[in-house]
Structure 1
């Protein structure tokens, strides 16, 4: 317990750094994304490709915000579960 508290205090606790390989589904989706991006870059007029990249950037930002709020909600739920587990049992009325 002390180790995790020290890591948190000193800013050394970063779950994103602990994520390993994301699996074959992720790699396949990433390759397809790169393939589609390459097609757009090679076949669209420069202005259209720039707009596609802006769309990708906006979609990525939305996704990051959603992931952040999902993480916060999950963390809060975990804390609530921990508090409930530590509560004294209630007697039935």
Structure 2
């Protein structure tokens, strides 16, 4: 069996591709975005819509960087929590005796 670390290192584990928000409004918001995008596409000239798409792309790149930083920060926080819990493990066990 492969370890999680090996899979992550070898590119077989891609958390960003596996994540699917479970918030009840997520899919509805996606449909609203698609509908509004289509409305703007019909309203604007090709060049104007291309510029709007460039704005969307920049916003997406910016959000991707934020999401990456949030993932890394969350991972570090989780790892630090485990370190703290494990470093106090004996103390906790001794308290119950």
Q: For the superposition of Structure 1 and Structure 2, which TM-score range results when normalised by the shorter chain?
A: 0.7 to 0.9
The 1-side partners of 2:55 and 2:9 are apart by 38
The answer to whether 1:31 aligns with 2:4 is no
The 1-side partners of 2:61 and 2:9 are apart by 28
TM-score (norm 1): 0.77
Per the TM alignment, residue 46 of structure 1 is displaced from its structure 2 partner at its CA by: 1.5
Identify unmatched segments of 5+ residues in structure 2.
Answer: 92-97
Identify unmatched segments of 5+ residues in structure 1.
Answer: none
Structure 1 vs Structure 2 CA RMSD: 2.2
CA separation of 1:52/1:9 partners in 2, compared to 1, >3 Å: closer, same or farther?
closer
Give the corresponding residue for 2:61: 61
Give the corresponding residue for 2:51: 51
Q: Which shifted more, 58-67 or 11-20?
A: 11-20
Instruction: Work out the number of aligned pairs and report it.
Output: 88
